[in-house]
Amino acid sequence: MKKIAILMGSDSDFPVVEKALTTLDKFGVPFEVHVYSAHRTPEEARAFAMNARKNGFGAIIAAAGKAAHLAGAMAANSTLPVIGIPIKSSTLDGLDALLSTVQMPGGLPVATVAIDGAENAALLAIQILAVTDEALAEKLDAARVENAKSVLEKDRLLAEKYNK
């Protein structure tokens, strides 16, 4: 199976990004995690993106806060699918990172999830791998069923308590 790259601009992003690791683990999807910054370590970030396909990756998740250019830098140097996670890390509540990540110029797509949306980033990466992996697709289907069951159970509990 292809690996997923999980990159973050700073280790201060890790408490949010950790959810992506646990989600990939839950589905048995292999990953590598790194701290690379589009601004502080641009050479390393570029080298990672340029070699990612030949190093066995199927998608790149890139999380960054503030002037969040890491996902864009990955997209500039790789044609693998890039998923951006805008991190809420400054006084602007993550809106800065959201706009920096999502507003890519034509020709360089970044699939941007919600602010701090690490779980969805991992699920989207898994869905990309599942296009050619039937067993993984079945696991995704089963997880959707479980998710729906848990919501219906919450509905049942609230309805039981308040709907007289």
**Site residues (CB under 6 A) for ligand RP5?**
9-10, 12-13, 37, 64-66, 87, 89
The answer to whether the CB of 78 falls within 8 A of the CB of 61 is no
Give the residue with the Cβ less far from ligand RP5, 51 or 90: 90
Identify any residues that bridge with 102 across adjacent strands, giving them in sequence order.
none
Give the residue with the Cβ less far from ligand RP5, 15 or 30: 15
Beta sheet of 111-112, edge-to-edge order: 31-35, 3-8, 57-65, 82-87, 111-112
- 140-157 in b/e form (b: 16+ CB < 10 A) is eeeeeeeeeeeeeeeeee
Separation of alpha carbons 161 and 164, rounded Å: 8
Give the residue with the Cβ less far from ligand RP5, 13 or 84: 13
CB of residue 12 to ligand RP5, shortest distance in Å: 3
CB of residue 66 to ligand RP5, shortest distance in Å: 4
Give the residue with the Cβ less far from ligand RP5, 36 or 58: 36
CB of residue 5 to ligand RP5, shortest distance in Å: 15
Identify any residues that bridge with 86 across adjacent strands, giving them in sequence order.
64
Give the residue with the Cβ less far from ligand RP5, 64 or 126: 64
CB of residue 51 to ligand RP5, shortest distance in Å: 22
The secondary structure element, H or E, covering residue 3 is: strand 3-8
CB of residue 24 to ligand RP5, shortest distance in Å: 20
Separation of alpha carbons 99 and 115, rounded Å: 10
